[in-house]
Amino acid sequence: MIVDTGDADLIYVVVAFDDPDMTAIDLMRVADLPLVTVSFGGLGEGVCTIFRTGCDVSECRQRLCQTGDPESSFWQFWNQDDAGEWALSALGGGAYQVENGDVVAWAWTGDDPQLPDLSWAEVALLADAPEEIVAGNASDSSGVWVNAPADVWQDDESPSITGTLLSTGVIVLLAGVGLFLIRRQRLRDVKVG
């Protein structure tokens, strides 16, 4: 799988799996990619965000992240045929059944993403998969290989553990000061009365 977030570098993902009924969206979940989708009932799922690129769920539910501009970006699902030609899937990744050796792509764009013509072995090599996987010997293997840099896995919106601990410490300190002041006022009231 190729993921094009619109940044300069493409992300390459290889998943060794044995489930014969896996969609392209299932494949992203098995790969544990940061993913947000919305359900459209009988129409399947729409992809809102992959690797922090995309839109929020409410905007996604309305227009799959598109604005009024016909060239506005949204998550497009593409599959490559045996001749290396890319085709945009009209039904999206939720309707596409992934098969052994498929090369598929997700692209955040409003026009043709100009995806590279790569064989499965080339994608596996770019994803840093082991030699036996690159050679197509995945019969006894299962796993996920991704070449994405660490910063695309981190969510800027989620607080760090240090920030969370610091916030908790400040709250505890303020609560302690508040209790001290209340108790001190009560002692004064008792002495006066």
Nearest in space to 7 (alpha carbons), one of 72, 52, 47: 52
Q: Is the dihedral of CA 26, 28, 32, 33 positive or negative?
A: negative
Task: Verify that 35 and 55 share a domain, yes or no.
Answer: yes
Question: Over the stretch 125-172, which tens digit does the pLDDT of each residue have?
Answer: 999 999 988 988 766 667 899 998 766 655 544 433 333 333 334 344
Grouping H, G, I as helix, E, B as strand and the rest as coil, residue 78 is: strand
Task: Verify that 10 and 104 share a domain, yes or no.
Answer: yes
Task: Verify that 104 and 170 share a domain, yes or no.
Answer: no
The reported pTM is 0.75
* Number of domains, the chain: 2
Task: Verify that 187 and 129 share a domain, yes or no.
Answer: no
| Whole-number Å distance between alpha carbons of 32 and 148 | 12
Residues ≥6 apart with Cβ < 8 Å to 179: none
Read off the pLDDT of each residue in 73-86 and give the average, rounded to a whole number.
93
Terminal Cα distance for the chain, rounded: 77
Task: Verify that 172 and 84 share a domain, yes or no.
Answer: no
- pLDDT tier at 53, thresholds 50, 70, 90: very high
| Whole-number Å distance between alpha carbons of 96 and 33 | 18
Number of H helices, E strands in the chain: 6, 9
Task: Verify that 66 and 124 share a domain, yes or no.
Answer: yes
Q: Provide the mean pLDDT of the chain.
A: 80
DSSP string of 138-152? -TT--EEEE---HHH
**Regarding predicted confidence, which is higher, 192 or 1?**
1
Task: Verify that 9 and 43 share a domain, yes or no.
Answer: yes
Task: Verify that 88 and 165 share a domain, yes or no.
Answer: no
pLDDT at 173 over 60: no
Read off the pLDDT of each residue in 9-22 and give the average, rounded to a whole number.
87
Task: Verify that 148 and 164 share a domain, yes or no.
Answer: no
Q: Output the pLDDT for position 122.
A: 95
Token pair, residue 131, equals 């030699």
Structural domain span for residue 188: 159-193
Q: Output the pLDDT for position 156.
A: 46
Task: Verify that 177 and 102 share a domain, yes or no.
Answer: no
**Regarding predicted confidence, which is higher, 191 or 78?**
78
E strand or H helix at 161: helix 161-192
Residues ≥6 apart with Cβ < 8 Å to 83: none
pLDDT at 181 over 70: no
* CB atoms near residue 111 (< 10 Å): 11
Task: Verify that 93 and 174 share a domain, yes or no.
Answer: no
Task: Verify that 63 and 36 share a domain, yes or no.
Answer: yes
